Amino acid sequence: MRVLVTGGAGHIGSHACKALAAAGYEPIVYDNLGRGHRWAVKWGPLEEGDISDTPRVMEVIERHQPAALMHFAAYTYVGESVTDPLLYYRNNVAASAALIDAVVKTNAMPIVFSSTAAIYGIPQTIPIPEDQPAAPVNPYGFTKHVIERMLTDTDRACGVRSVSLRYFNAAGADPAGEIGEAHDPETHLIPLVLAAAKKRHLR
């Protein structure tokens, strides 16, 4: 079976593609390569395009007939979302609405959405329970929260099932070293900590 993976040329998306291939699925990567990498697409075909282009997404869905969609395409820099919030509302919210519209119009397949723990905002308790109310404190987290709500409403209206993954700091390369992080600039916590430790060790 085929799975459409938006943002499959990015860090988390490419790891998902490798896992899908290992499980016997064919990942169909849909990516505009704006922040992803062509070299990270190794386990299935690459369809270049933007998720905001509904006709293009519909054409890809109709041609490949995927059994499910994994949606990783988004901008993810918290600081950038604060200084340029409209960029995040256009790229994350509006573009995801166009993508979901394409799914509804062609193939009401289940969706796995790459959300974020940033939707929780300042935690009320530690560890954070999954059912803690959403209270994002930055535009990035809010855009992810809006997309989750869009998916919930679309399920109620159109029967498009979905699940949202609210992970924290995803980092590192796969054990075989075939893919890993390649952000410029690097803003993720774990790589920054390791880079600082390495720099200190070399002194």
pLDDT tens-digit series, residues 113-152:
999 999 999 988 889 988 889 999 999 999 999 999 999 9
What is this structure's pTM?
0.88
Residue 195 scores a pLDDT above 80:
no
CATH number for the 2-202 domain, one of 3.10.20.30, 3.90.700.10, 3.60.110.10, 3.40.50.720?
3.40.50.720
State mean pLDDT over 71-95: 96
Please tell me the predicted confidence (pLDDT) of residue 189: 66
The domain segmentation of the chain, as residue ranges, is 2-202
pLDDT tens-digit series, residues 4-33:
999 999 999 999 999 999 999 999 999 999
Confidence band (pLDDT; 50, 70, 90) for 203?
low
Give the separation between CA 117 and CA 165, rounded to whole angstroms.
8
Residue 201 scores a pLDDT above 60:
no
Please tell me the predicted confidence (pLDDT) of residue 7: 96
Please tell me the predicted confidence (pLDDT) of residue 188: 65
The residues annotated as belonging to the active site are 140
